[in-house]
Structure formats: structure tokens, C-alpha cells
């Protein structure tokens, strides 16, 4: 199986987890990575800067109508849902919160699954609610590959445990194992329909 994109979701403890997953990825990592990290609406945006300083990839806050580029890392802005459009561009929405969150992990995961189908890798990290479980379920149903952070290594284990309980996870891995797995999966070649 060859893959076209990675989606990641995190909540409480997510910044540290994201740094640990992104830092080992090579500068030439070929897949785009789209990320939802729960954060407060008025929070000053230091996340892109912080992640950019701790990895070799191009990290930026997502913009509406932006084309998704290979190897780019796109963060959902505070208070906006991040979605993938059928033409593989990004969209932002201020629709109602999902699982008490905007941005919502489920919204990103489900829209990306519709577009990338079996070419999508979904990664669910530390967090304190069930956001992401429904999204991983859709990714798995459409033939994609799903990963949850090992709850024993999560700052808050509720989010990965929710997905594991629902049997929507292909692999349960520590943060260092997630980075290694993503690198291996990306080396299988880039999926292009």
C-alpha cells in the first residue's frame, strides 16, 4: 500500500507529543501532514513556530484554499475546523464545535478520509476527550491505516483509549515508534490516483 497524506490529532499534552513525533522525520519526508491540536480560540499562535524549531519539515498554519504540498505540515488555526477539499486543497470552517472542540480532529480526519481514502494515515495522540475516534473509524473503513499513541505513554490517555476501545486502531505505538512507522510507510512510495 502506498500513502498520500498523514492526519494527526492531539489535545492535552499534544504539543510535546507532536514535537516528539515530528522531530525524527527526515527533511525529505514526502507526505503532507495535517494537524489538529485543540487550543483556546484567543491563544497566541506560537505552535507553528515551536514545531518549526524542533523539526526539519516546513511547518505553517493552514490557510483557506491553500494547495496541500508534499512534505508540508499544516496546523489548524485556533477556532477553525480544518478540512480537505476534493481538489486536495485546504478549507477552514467556523461551523459548530464537534466533541466540544473547534478545531475538531474528527472533522479533519473524516474530510481527509473522503478525499484520500486508502491513501490516508491517521494518527491519534494524547488528549482528554473522544475527539478523533469517529475520524479514525472512517479512515479505517475506507482502507486507510490508523495509529494511536500507546496510552501508557500519553500525558492524558482518554483520547487514545477511546479509539482503542472502539477497535478502530491498526497499531498502538509509543511516540518514537510512530515517527519510525511513518517514515517506513512513506518509503513505500507515494500513492497517486
Residue from 88, 67, 95, 64 nearest 77 by CA: 64
- Count the neighbouring beta carbons within 10 Å of the beta carbon of residue 60: 14
Strands 5-10, 81-84: pairing is unpaired
Question: How many CA atoms does the CB half-sphere of 94 hold within 13 Å?
Answer: 3
Single out the catalytic residue among 81, 104, 130, 131: 131
186 is catalytic: no
Rounded CA Rg of the chain = 14
d(CA 80, CA 96): 10
d(CA 182, CA 82): 22
Strand runs (DSSP E) across the chain, as ranges? 5-10, 33-37, 58-61, 72-75, 81-84, 90-93, 120-124, 145-149, 171-173
Judge whether 157 counts as a catalytic residue. no
Q: How far apart are CA 84 and CA 88, in angstroms?
A: 6
Residue 81 falls in the annotated catalytic set: no
Query: Active site residue: 38, 101, 104, 106, which one?
Result: 38
Question: Could you give the residue numbers annotated as active site?
Answer: 11, 38, 131
Amino acid at each position: 500500500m502506498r500513502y498520500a497524506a498523514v492526519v494527526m490529532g492531539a489535545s492535552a499534552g499534544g504539543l510535546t507529543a507532536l514535537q516528539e513525533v515530528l522531530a525524527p522525520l527526515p527533511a525529505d519526508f514526502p507526505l503532507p501532514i495535517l494537524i489538529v491540536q485543540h487550543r483556546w480560540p484567543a491563544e497566541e499562535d506560537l505552535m507553528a513556530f515551536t514545531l518549526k524549531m524542533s523539526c526539519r519539515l516546513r511547518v505553517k498554519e493552514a490557510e483557506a484554499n491553500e494547495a496541500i504540498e508534499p512534505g508540508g505540515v499544516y496546523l489548524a488555526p485556533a477556532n477553525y475546523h480544518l478540512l480537505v477539499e476534493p481538489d486536495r486543497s485546504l478549507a477552514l470552517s467556523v461551523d459548530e464545535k464537534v466533541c466540544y472542540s473547534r478545531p475538531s480532529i474528527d472533522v479533519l480526519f473524516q474530510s481527509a478520509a473522503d478525499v484520500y481514502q486508502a491513501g490516508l494515515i491517521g494518527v491519534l495522540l494524547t488528549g482528554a476527550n473522544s475527539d478523533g475516534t469517529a475520524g479514525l473509524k472512517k479512515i479505517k473503513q475506507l482502507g486507510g491505516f490508523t495509529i494511536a499513541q500507546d496510552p501508557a505513554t500519553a500525558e492524558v490517555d482518554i483520547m487514545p483509549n477511546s479509539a482503542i476501545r472502539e477497535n478502530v486502531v491498526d497499531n498502538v505505538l509509543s511516540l518514537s515508534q510512530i515517527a519510525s512507522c511513518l517514515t517506513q510507510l512513506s518509503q513505500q512510495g507515494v500513492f497517486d490516483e
